[in-house]
Structure 1
Amino acid sequence: MILRVLVLLLTVQFSCSIDTITPTNPLKEGDILISDGGKYTLGFFSHGNSTLKYVGIWFTNVSIQTVVWVANRDKPVHELQGVFSISEDGNAQISSQKSVIWSTNVSIPAAKNNINSTSLKLLNSGNLVLSSDNGKTIAWQSFDHATDTFLPGMKLGIDKRTGLNRFLTSWSSINDPSPGNYTFKVDPNGSPQFFLYQGSNPVWRSGPWIGQRWSGVPDMTKAYIFNYSFVSNPDEVSVTYDILNPMIISIFLVDGVSGTVQRRTWHEDSKRWIVFWTAPKELCDQFGECGAYGNCNPNSGNQYQCSCFSGYQPKSPKDWYLRDGSQGCIREDNRSMCRNGEGFLKLTSVKIPDTSKATVNKTSTLKQCEEACLRNCSCTGYTAADDSGEGSGCISFYDQLTDVRMYPNQGQDAYFRADAVTVAKYTNSKGRLAHKRLEEVLIAIGVLTFVILISSVGFFVYQKKKRDREEELERSLWTKDAGESDSSAELPFYTRNEIALATDNFSLDKKLGEGGFGSVYKGQLRNGQEIAVKKLAPNSGQGIHEFKNEVRLIAKLQHRNLVKMIGCCVQGDEKMLIYEFMPNGSLDSFIFKEENKSSLDWMKRVDIIMGIARGMLYLHQDSRLKIIHRDLKASNILLDRDMVPKISDFGMARIFVSEQKEENTTRVVGTYGYMAPEYALEGMISVKSDVFSFGVLMLEVITGRKNSGLYPDNPSINLVGHVWELWKLGSALDIVDPSLTDPDSDEILKFMQVGLLCVQESADDRPTMSEVVFMLSTNMELPSPNQPAFIHRGGRHSVDPSTSSAGAYSVNDLSITAVVEGR
């Protein structure tokens, strides 16, 4: 018996080290292959309760089963027993009851003479290799037939000699490995680049390889974790990469659920995959978001991220106004650009245009490229072919310049053809600027000389008069306007020096954030009180009227869920508001950031929603003034030390008289995605406008998603529309923030129903804030919602671009941390 046990143990140990299938040793269900280094495992697998079985490769030591390759992804083995074996002609095949389900289907001449010389081996790279002649000749390998995952050492691209095209195709769903709707493949035309497609439609473009990185991946740096290699020659166009530290487990894949390409890295301590990089991750990443000759800038500070090149104007002003820039831009007055005094203007820090129809000259200098392009009237622009500073060459464009976007840094310079009038305007403006600066320098020298010559007494007199003027400005600012019943004279005033001292002279270390209005800094007064200073930019959309409005409103309002103003400062052109400091920042930093979501359980989210609702009820009904906020959104909700929500930013608020129900305004302000339709389209404002914004905000808190986010299954729909579609199907809980553990499903559905009632298209169908508070606080039977407003992106009717106060755009992060489900 002891001998039998020893033999059994030796047999098990031997079988665990098997990495090869031979004609005499097939792989049956329940058996596995493990690569020689132990990194990868091959075997039959299935998901959940499914009876469908597949042959796949996954990581051996990753606790979440992560399948990186599937053989029979569109031909699963059903309930019958499956076998993975070597057939009589030497091919690898999957069969069930003598029925062949999948085969490598290649010609192996040597197998006819000696079938036993053929084998199928799992390498420690994750490559499954079918070879003949006892391993001397490779007949087939899985690296040439990737599924959705790009592994280190694998090639993606085209072998022009054989016509083999290696590309990635997403899974249909998280549990279905059959080919999905997203593919990632190279376009070898022009200057080669990779595209992510949804069906046949491009979704995202990598841009061409420019020496050390792709033009469309500016955060790609010199090798420190990954070492990429790109080849483009008459024989092939391909990319491969290695991981410099063999202890790191990382994959690149096409995710069919989110419709993105992702770089994921396994974090052993937390037992999860970290999303290291993803694309597209914002609207400007979407292919052709601003069309031909349009430039997408998510950090412009304007209400719309698209702008036309100099000398161009929107092709369809109506669509442009509705925030649809896909038709792009056309030349102003259709001016000639062929041997008519035209030239080139520069785009700085951009993802260079689509190079599918470009040409590459690897030997020309940039100056030679400019001269050649100017001689050819079909040439629309040019750029450097190598941005690493280590080479030469240029790319010339011969089609419309499409899919251009700006980056805050690491972008590339590109040059586009401009007509003579536009070039002259640009040149003259630069000349005028230089002349103006010269004048300023001369004047400054004269003034400095004068100051040195005048007596110290005269200088002090000048300073005193200046201070008197500033004090007079401060006093005049707070003089009662006609018809006002009271003022905010009780509000403390601070000098600029006091605020500068409290914020270390507005140092970057004290900066909490910034938006279209300006910047916010943390500070500490001499008495030790912590403050937040809202320092308005000189070009802020919030002018003196809005500034006075915000100061006077907040000074008069007292409620637990409204931010408390401590004082203000007006000195010269500078305007500052001083608030109580909110140590937990704004609500959007919790509900939209993966690393912070888990700190908000369902009960805390209920408290936040109820706090905001009570604050809005106070504004609409319980305060001495009826106030319409007009810009209620997640970034304008601040959280104190105890996570109590505080409504802030009253610069756009409107005061109603007690009996007033609505008002029509020609100055529409607010943030796209939160504005009610009657306000965005007709300028009609009422308390129901705020109710609509509250409904959107409540759905964002419940789902952890932005209303303006992307939904790959239906890119024309927003969060409100997505919730509505799931609500109709009875599947609304599917979109609840997955970071919530053990939430109250009935209460969540009630809150979602109230949220949908708040975003009804007709203002009359929406509840008042008092009704909202009552519905959320009781178990009353709720009315059924109708289809909400603005559920399609085609309805981007939001804001007059000359008057709108846009929401802040997010800065490009270099990495994103998220929990990823395994498969």
Structure 2
Amino acid sequence: MRNETVLLLILLLSVLLWSGSSSDTFDATQSFRDADVLVSVGGTFVLGFFSPSDSGQRFLGIWYARVSVPTVVWVANRENPLNDSSGALSVDSLGNLIISSNNSASLVWSTNNSLLPAEVNSSPVVQLLDSGNLVLYQDVDKKVILWQSFDHPTDTMLPNMKIGYKKTSSRTWSITSWRSYDDPRPGICTFMANPTGYPQLFLYKDGAPHWRTGPWTGSRWSGIPEMRNNYVFNIFFVNDGDEFSITYIMINTSILSTIVVNETGTIDRMNWIEQEHRWVPMYSAPGEPCDYYNQCGPNGLCDPYKADLYTCSCFPGFQPRYPNHWLLKDTTGGCVRNTGASICQSGEGFVGINNTKLPDTSIAQVNMTMTLRECESACLRNCSCTAYASATESGGGSGCLMWYGELNDTRTFNNGQQIYIREDAAELDEQPEWEQESHTGDNAAGIGRCSFASISLCLTNYKAQKRYICWPELFPMKGSDFDDSLIRRHFCTCKTVNSSIATGGRRLPALWPRTPKNPSSVAKPLDTKELDRTGKSDAGLPSFKLSSVAAFTDNFSLSNRLGVGGFGTVYKGVMSDGTEVAVKRLSEFSRQGDEEFKNEVNLIARLQHRNLVRMLGFCLKDNEKILVYEYLPNKSLDAFLFDKSKKSLLDWRIRFDILTGVARGLMYLHQDSRLRVIHRDLKASNVLLDTEMQPKISDFGMARMCGGDQSEGTTNRVVGTFGYMSPEYAMEGVFSVKSDVYSFGILLLEIISGKKISSYYDEGSSTNLVGHFWELWKGGLCMEIIDESIAVDEPHTWKEVLKCIQIGLLCVQELPTDRPTMSTVIFMLGNDTGLASPRQPAYTIRKKNNMGTTNNSSSDSAASVNQATISIIEGR
């Protein structure tokens, strides 16, 4: 969405003209000048010339008439802007709609309609419809359409508009992003149909696949499960051999809705919320790593719900193409068939994998008349067929999709589809009994799947006297000082064998270098000898022995100490395999008790996001409570932000990336994770930075899990840090996702100012940091509080900083309903939308204490001097 002063003035002008004498039509006898506008009959859209920036370039476009945020939905001359206001729109003698320049007498833009009737009527009419479609009719009867803008969309898809193609007329309907936020020229991102194989829609970036919808399942796209429960619009899908297209029509036509290709590489569905005077994102893709095209390479499966270190795994019967690359988390090479696999031999079959976004159907064929049983037989007869699935979800599945070649861009969803992967006889024999697929009638249901990942393989049913075959050169089958389940998960194949040969030695194709003489030197994700044999969190996180943790940290030596807080001490450690870790040793008197400790262990193991810190294990022994995390060499954000010698390393681009990363991490907690999580203690010291200064939210001891439909809760025990607590939480014990939004707002203002919320003091003012920001914002003097380390000499940087200040003030509003959600914050950070005007935030006045001096806390209670997390017991 576009937000420029010039465009806003034009929008206001167009509304005034609409309320006066403007029309929705003009004919060939009239000339449409730069200052003229057309307004649709219902007053929804305006056609006119506009300038999106200070460059003075003029474009003819269509935008919403009475939306307070300037929103252009179509641009005519986007590849050839005018340099002045001399442009005019007219109909030429051939019946084309053209834009010409009076100053240069040159043709700027034309419909160039080659499909006009042989004889063009002398009185064509141009009309702007209330759908946003600009139509050129053959005559005043308006029965024959010569040209319409809906056939030539720019970056926005409106209701009743098509995306797709038509073979007989060689027509395509696609949308292409602007070049930048203030440049309507065509950008590098295009959303369009791919007609190869079984058609689907792709978002291309720089000409390469960036994200795809997946195939049509009968009611939704395979890759957009959110469409399953839709009560806002009706979908019209056409695939008749000549035309492949999709159109959406709003059920409630009073709702304004658009689909926009963003210049940053996302496709966003937006709804206008009049009460809030803003566009609200309803859906955006790609939104997480597994959304990006072919994240795990050919024959790889991307699973964002996995609880281990990797989201990528190989299909059953496949292994990493470049094993050493997978150890470094470079999975783009994908997977290949296991060595020695015999395809198209007797005894082969299929393994079912549940809940997937079906692979790229560019190499697939469809037969809508086949049952799933017939589909299986047809695929089995063709040696080139690698997988099959139902084409639609209706009636439990119907039609047949068959893939020929490598399977690209497959990921899992909680409510995805099922696909069947071709396997040879040997591989099928290795599938445990509980993973064999079963057929009932014409429907097949895979009961499980076997993921041959670089770290975790298959678990067998050990209690049922199954046995496992291990890699003897990696881990000898003797001794008892190890965790059986871990050995099976990391080093063993999924083969059910007779116990008499359980100590045999058939080796799976190695994922690590073969070093039979020195197995301890093999690179592994965790050293199995250092794991407690019985300890596991509810989420399966390994428990370390205290002696092992002590060895990591050289017996908790002072030289390895990274920092001290109210919770205890953090040490740097090195595991026996060379992995650097951060060891958080809670003191015996730590405010983080047993419940908080267990909460963090069981919660963070279930959360997987690039902007959340990753926990590797824990230790609970007597009074010792220890957490083991990935080591982040740049420590926490406050170590840079509030250090005069280091803050200069944080230029504006780094700071903006940090706050954007924190926002994405919070959105994942609030909205995208399997659990709705409220952090309750977000602050600068709980934001860690990796080697590339990318942020990771840490310390989940105070976090609360909520049900999917639960948005808030109450507590008698208020926990958090003064200054970061929202008023409803600090005073009433009411917490919600909006409590985290408040904390994020404080963090954002700290990042901009380089000042702590708990230490800001201005002797000449009665306001705290939030209040000072508010006073300067009202007076237009925000430059005074921006950290001197931030260079704002560039207009774009200055504009972005001001936008972030406004977002920060919106986040710290007193009422939770006035604060945006984190998904809205991310949208505002990434787009130049018109933002709501903030009201006076909460906690803007510094309170007086009993001694008559000012207390700079954001609460009436005293702030802790070290900004440590606190707990307050309140009776209710």
Q: Would you call these one fold, judging by a TM-score over 0.5?
A: yes
Match of 1:660 in 2: none
* Corresponding position: 1:193 with 2:148: no
Distance 2:353 2:586 in 1: 43
Q: How does 1:160-179 map to 2 (within 5 A)?
A: 160-179=167-186
Structure 1's unaligned 5+ residue stretches are: 1-10, 441-515, 518-533, 569-575, 593-631, 637-647, 654-667, 678-690, 711-717, 725-736, 751-778, 783-812
Partner of 1:398: 404
Scaled by the length of structure 1, what TM-score is found? Answer: 0.59
Contact between 1:21 and 1:86, CA under 8 Å: does it hold in 2? no
**2:24 alignment partner, one of 19, 37, 40:** 19
Higher relative contact order (CA 8 A, sep 6+): 1
Alpha-carbon shift at residue 50 of structure 1 (Å): 2.1
Q: What is the rounded CA distance, in whole Å, between the counterparts of 1:126 and 1:266 in structure 2?
A: 15
Report the more deviating stretch, 337-346 or 121-130.
Answer: 337-346
- The Cα offsets for residues 756-776 of structure 1, whole Å up to 9 and x where unpaired, read as xxxxxxxxxxxxxxxxxxxxx
Give the C-alpha shift of residue 114 in structure 1. 4.1
Match of 1:209 in 2: 216
Instruction: Letter of the 1:299 partner, please give it.
Output: Y
Matched, 1:536 2:543: no
Q: Which amino acid aligns with 2:32?
A: L
The answer to whether the 8 Å contact 1:586/1:635 transfers is: no
Q: Deviations over 1:366-413 (max 9, x none)?
A: 111111111111100100101133662110011111111112x11111
Cα distance, 1:128–1:302 mapped onto 2, change above 3 Å = same
TM superposition shift of 1:178? 0.3
Query: Residue 232 of structure 1 aligns with which residue?
Result: 239
State the distance in 2 between where 1:436 and 1:741 align: 49
Whether the aligned pair in 2 keeps the contact of 1:565 and 1:578 (CA below 8 Å) is no
Partner of 2:38: 33
Residue deviations 1:469-493, cap 9 Å, x none? xxxxxxxxxxxxxxxxxxxxxxxxx
Matched residue, 2:661: 706
How far apart, in 2, do the equivalents of 1:152 and 1:633 lie? 35
The one-letter code of the counterpart of 1:224 is Y
Name the structure 1 match of 2:832. 821
Residue 356 of structure 1 aligns to a residue in which SS? helix
- Cα distance in 2 for residues equivalent to 1:423 and 1:390: 25
Residue 537 and residue 329 in structure 1: after superposition, are their counterparts in 2 closer, same or farther (change >3 A)?
same
Question: CA–CA distance in 1 between the matches of 2:225 and 2:281?
Answer: 17
C-alpha displacement of 1:553: 8.2
Identity across the alignment (%): 36
Give the alignment partner of residue 54 of structure 1, picking from 39, 59, 68.
59
Q: Structure 2: how far apart are the matches of 1:436 and 1:401? A: 32
Compute the displacement of 1:25 (Å): 2.4
1:155 counterpart residue number = 162
Deviation at 1:722, TM superposition (A): 8.7
Aligned positions of 1:548-697 closer than 5 A = 559-560=565-566, 562=568, 577-579=594-596, 635=613, 651=618, 670-671=629-630, 674=632
Q: 2:270 & 2:547 partners in 1: Cα distance?
A: 46
Q: Distance in 1 between matches of 2:258 and 2:463?
A: 53
Equivalent residue in structure 1 for 2:188, among 181, 191, 204: 181
Question: Could you tell which deviates more after superposition, 737-746 or 84-93?
Answer: 737-746
Residue 259 of structure 1 aligns with an amino acid whose one-letter code is G
Give the total of aligned pairs: 551
Partners of 1:188 and 1:89 in 2: how far apart?
33
Residue 633 of structure 2 contacts residue 691 of structure 2 at CA under 8 Å; is this kept in 1? no
SS in 2 for 1:706: helix
Q: 2:384 aligned with 1:378, yes or no?
A: yes
Q: Which moved more, 1:58-67 or 1:99-108?
A: 99-108
Give the direction of change, closer, same or farther, for the CA distance of 1:323–1:139 in structure 2 (3 Å limit).
same
- Partners in 2 of 1:88 and 1:301 — Cα distance? 67
Q: 2-side partners of 1:224 and 1:230: how far apart?
A: 17
Q: Which has the higher helix share?
A: 1
Structure 2 match to 1:459: none
Inter-partner Cα distance in structure 1 for 2:17 and 2:48 = 17
Shift of 1:188: 1.6
Aligned to 2:212, the other structure's residue is in SS state strand
What's the CA shift string for 1:769-822, capped at 9, x where partnerless?
xxxxxxxxxx9999xxxxxxxxxxxxxxxxxxxxxxxxxxxxxx9976633423
CA distance in 2, matches of 1:225, 1:312: 42
Structure 1 residues 68 and 586 mapped into 2: Cα distance closer, same or farther (>3 Å)?
farther
Structure 1 contact 366–383 (Cα < 8 Å) conserved: yes
| Alpha-carbon offset, residue 538 of structure 1 | 7.1
Instruction: Provide the rounded CA distance (Å) in 1 between the counterparts of 2:28 and 2:241.
Output: 39
Structure 1 residues 338 and 742: alpha-carbon distance in aligned structure 2, compared to 1, 3 A threshold: closer
Relative to structure 1, the CA distance from residue 109 to residue 208 in structure 2 (aligned partners, 3 Å threshold; closer, same or farther) is closer
- Structure 2: state its 5+ residue gaps: 1-15, 437-457, 467-524, 527-534, 570-584, 621-626, 636-645, 666-688, 696-742, 757-786, 791-820, 835-876
Maintained 8 Å contact 1:110/1:133: no
8 Å contact from structure 2 (residues 543, 617) kept in 1? no
Q: Report the AA paired with residue 413 of structure 1.
A: Q
1:163-190 deviation line (CA, Å, top 9, x unaligned): 1011111100010000000111101222
Asked if the contact 2:74/2:153 (under 8 Å) is kept, the reply is: yes
- TM-fit CA distance, 1:161: 1.1
Partner Cα distance (1:230, 1:341) in 2: 40
**Residue in 2 that maps onto 1:420:** 425
The match for 1:343 is: 349
Per-residue CA distance 1:610-629 (angstroms, 9 max, x = gap): xxxxxxxxxxxxxxxxxxxx
Question: Is the Cα contact below 8 Å between 2:18 and 2:43 reproduced in 1?
Answer: no
Does 2:90 align with 1:81?
Answer: no
Mapped partners of 2:19, 2:292: distance in 1: 52
Q: Are 1:219 and 2:226 counterparts?
A: yes
Pair 281,234 (structure 1): closer, same or farther in 2 beyond 3 Å: same
- Contact preservation (8 Å) 1:384, 1:395: yes
Q: RMSD of the alignment, in Å? A: 4.8
- 2:138–2:145 contact (8 Å) kept in structure 1: yes
The change in CA–CA distance for 1:168 and 1:559 in structure 2 (over 3 A counts) is closer
3-state SS of paired residue (2:362):
coil
Paired residue secondary structure (2:61): strand
Compute the displacement of 1:544 (Å).
3.9
Q: 2:152 maps to what in 1?
A: 145
Say whether the 8 Å CA contact 1:547–1:651 is kept in structure 2. no
Amino acid at match of 2:129: L
Which TM-score applies when normalising by structure 2?
0.56
Q: Is the 8 Å Cα contact of residues 18 and 39 (structure 2) preserved in structure 1?
A: no
- Maintained 8 Å contact 1:535/1:577: no
1:89–1:280 distance in 2 versus 1, CA, 3 Å: same
DSSP-derived class of the 1:704 partner: helix
For residue 304 of structure 2, what is the amino acid of its counterpart?
P
Q: Counterparts of 1:318 and 1:279 in 2: how far apart (Å)?
A: 31
Measure the CA separation in 1 of the matches of 2:434 and 2:292.
33
Give the direction of change, closer, same or farther, for the CA distance of 1:322–1:745 in structure 2 (3 Å limit): closer
For residues 373 and 328 of structure 2, what CA distance do their matches in structure 1 show? 40
After TM superposition, give the deviation of residue 351 of structure 1 in Å: 0.7
Q: Residues 337 and 709 from structure 1, CA distance in 2 versus in 1: closer, same or farther, beyond 3 angstroms?
A: farther
Distance in 2 separating the partners of 1:113 and 1:434: 76
Quote how far apart the aligned CAs of 1:318 are. Answer: 1.6
| One-letter amino acid of the counterpart of residue 75, structure 1 | N
Q: Distance in 2 between matches of 1:430 and 1:108?
A: 58
| Alpha carbons of structure 1 residues 708 and 242: separation in structure 2 relative to 1, 3 Å | closer
Summarize the alignment of residues 303-322 of structure 1 with structure 2, pairs less than 5 Å apart.
303-322=309-328
Q: Is the partner of 1:705 in helix, strand or coil?
A: helix
Tell me if structure 2 keeps the 8 A contact 1:707–1:719: no
CA distance in 2, matches of 1:28, 1:742: 46
Q: Give the match's secondary structure for 1:278.
A: strand
Where 1:220 maps in the other structure, the secondary structure is helix
Q: Which entry has the higher C-alpha Rg, 1 or 2? A: 1
Deviation for aligned residue 1:546: 8.3
Rounded to whole Å, the distance in 2 between the matches of 1:50 and 1:701 is: 26
Report the alpha carbon displacement of residue 45 of structure 1 after superposing the two structures with TM: 0.6
- Give the AA of the match of 2:158: L
